[in-house]
């Protein structure tokens, strides 16, 4: 059996695939960036969509397609083409870590990637040790603030908590929590329980499913039987990946009546994959800070650009931009904007982090503003309803952007640290601080 070090060495030998390097007239070699996502395994529908969005933004930066994303500064960055090096983290946090190390060993200093919090926590020590930088595009539990990362996904105060309060006011106070069994759902559930206590309510049922495995359907059926006995007003779901969502929703739909579900990790690409697997989410809900059907002109222009790019790539399917995809596109725009202003930040992760503070760009979701005091962005909480084909349409949205609160005020920093330390998994003891 391979030990962890041997496994990392073996996985590090996996190939690096360069994509999206355009012909840009100027001096110097290409600027190479890493794109590290789950391109295979249970999270492939999520990871592949975000990797595609990142590649699209890099190609637009290189001037390969016309439109909204293309820089007014001309193709490329600092007169050099940008080359995206695409690698697969699969279902393994160790593979994510090994691939991150391989990217840094090849000279790359910036990585766009990761989906689960556990993969991010496996990658961050490597990023920090190499003075590199990670752009993370997915909603997450917070409680972390690395100088070598920018977290563009929604924090709990921008997604979990507003959607929970909306659910209580819309459906009733009896809440059930169902999640995948890893760090994000477990911490998210602790935050949701704290919010319910602050509302004077209790969580009536809580359970977890593995991300994948042969026993998922049977476990999901048992879980749903227990869930029905608890009589929740609605279910708050932090289930991630197709296997767990399919097993749970199939079991839930075998029962009638069933409570509505608000999902926190199912966006349009996942909904489309579930639809292809025969599961309709119609009538359920999802909480994000952007939906692909954004009718505003900026969202429409980005979708048109994505359609043009997909035709160039010979890709088939719907040209839609989910919340994590929008964050991935904004990541590339923010990185390029910061490096233009401070070229020395190109190879210095901590300097890049400082250059990003307080910076704003326009992405598919509208304005993307990096907080001046923490490596997180402002965001607009939204709730959407699944319709035919598992598309999402907005049913509730905050009027203004919500500033980030990485450490919810329900507990002290020390208490959050103790919670993280009590969970099993790679690097769950986050570096935390006030704010």
Q: Burial of 310 by CB count in 10 Å (0-12 exposed, 13-18 middle, 19+ buried)?
A: middle
**Contact between 267 and 322 (Cβ < 8 Å):** yes
The reported pTM is 0.89
Residues 25 and 141 placed together within one structural domain of the fold:
yes
**CA-angle at 265, arms to 263 and 271, nearest 5°:** 80
Confirm whether 435 is domain-assigned: no
Summarised one tens digit per residue, pLDDT across range 201-260 is: 989 999 999 988 889 999 999 999 999 999 999 999 999 999 999 999 999 999 888 999
* Residue-number span of the structural domain to which 227 is assigned: 157-293+382-421
Residues 175 and 282 placed together within one structural domain of the fold:
yes
Summarised one tens digit per residue, pLDDT across range 154-209 is: 999 999 999 999 999 999 999 999 999 988 999 999 999 999 999 999 899 999 99
Identify the bridge partners of residue 133 per DSSP, sorted by sequence position: 110
**What pLDDT score does 424 carry?**
47
Residues 72 and 171 placed together within one structural domain of the fold:
no
**Contact between 391 and 284 (Cβ < 8 Å):** no
Residues 11 and 146 placed together within one structural domain of the fold:
yes
Residues 262 and 399 placed together within one structural domain of the fold:
yes
pLDDT tops 70 at residue 427: no
Counted domains in the chain: 2
Residues 126 and 252 placed together within one structural domain of the fold:
no
**What pLDDT score does 191 carry?**
96
Residues 141 and 163 placed together within one structural domain of the fold:
no
Confirm whether 217 is domain-assigned: yes
Summarised one tens digit per residue, pLDDT across range 52-72 is: 999 999 999 998 876 555 556
**Contact between 113 and 134 (Cβ < 8 Å):** yes
Residues 395 and 318 placed together within one structural domain of the fold:
no
Summarised one tens digit per residue, pLDDT across range 87-107 is: 999 999 999 999 999 999 999
């Amino acid at each position: 059996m391979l030990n962890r070090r041997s496994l990392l060495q073996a996985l590090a030998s996996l190939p690096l695939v360069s994509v999206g390097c355009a012909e840009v007239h100027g001096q110097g070699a290409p600027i190479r960036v890493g794109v590290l996502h789950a391109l295979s395994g249970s999270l492939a529908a999520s990871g592949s969509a975000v990797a595609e969005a990142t590649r699209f933004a890099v190609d637009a930066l290189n001037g390969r397609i016309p439109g909204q994303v293309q820089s007014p500064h001309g193709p490329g960055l600092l007169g050099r083409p940008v080359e995206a090096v695409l690698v697969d983290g699969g279902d393994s946090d160790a593979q994510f870590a090994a691939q991150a190390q391989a990217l840094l060993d090849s000279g790359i200093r910036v990585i766009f990637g990761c989906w689960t919090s556990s993969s991010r926590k496996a990658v961050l020590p490597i990023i920090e040790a190499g003075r590199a930088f990670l752009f993370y595009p997915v909603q997450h539990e917070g409680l972390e603030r690395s100088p070598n990362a920018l977290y563009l996904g929604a924090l709990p105060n921008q997604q979990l908590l507003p959607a929970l309060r909306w659910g209580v006011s819309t459906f009733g106070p009896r809440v059930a929590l169902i999640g995948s069994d890893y760090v994000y759902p477990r911490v998210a559930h602790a935050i949701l329980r704290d919010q319910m206590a602050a509302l004077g309510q209790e969580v009536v049922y809580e359970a977890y499913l593995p991300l994948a495995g042969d026993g998922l359907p049977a476990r999901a059926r048992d879980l749903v039987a227990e869930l029905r006995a608890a009589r929740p007003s609605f279910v708050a779901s932090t289930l991630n990946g197709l296997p767990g969502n399919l097993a749970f929703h199939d079991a839930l739909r075998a029962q009638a009546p069933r409570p509505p579900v608000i999902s926190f990790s199912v966006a349009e690409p996942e909904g489309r994959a579930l639809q292809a697997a025969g599961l309709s989410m119609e009538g359920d809900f999802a909480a994000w800070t952007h939906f692909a059907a954004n009718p505003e002109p900026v969202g429409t222009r980005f979708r048109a650009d994505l359609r043009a790019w997909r035709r160039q790539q010979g890709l088939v399917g719907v040209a839609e931009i989910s919340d994590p995809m929008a964050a991935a596109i904004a990541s590339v725009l923010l990185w390029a904007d910061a490096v233009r202003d401070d070229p020395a930040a190109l190879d210095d992760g901590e300097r890049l982090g400082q250059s990003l503070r307080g910076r704003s760009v326009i992405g598919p979701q509208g304005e993307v503003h990096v907080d001046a005091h923490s490596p997180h962005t402002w965001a607009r909480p939204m709730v959407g309803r699944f319709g035919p084909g598992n598309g999402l349409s907005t049913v509730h949205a905050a009027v203004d952007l919500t500033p980030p609160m990485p450490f919810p005020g329900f507990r002290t920093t020390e208490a959050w640290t103790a919670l993280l330390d009590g969970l099993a998994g790679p690097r769950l003891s986050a570096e935390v601080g006030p704010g």
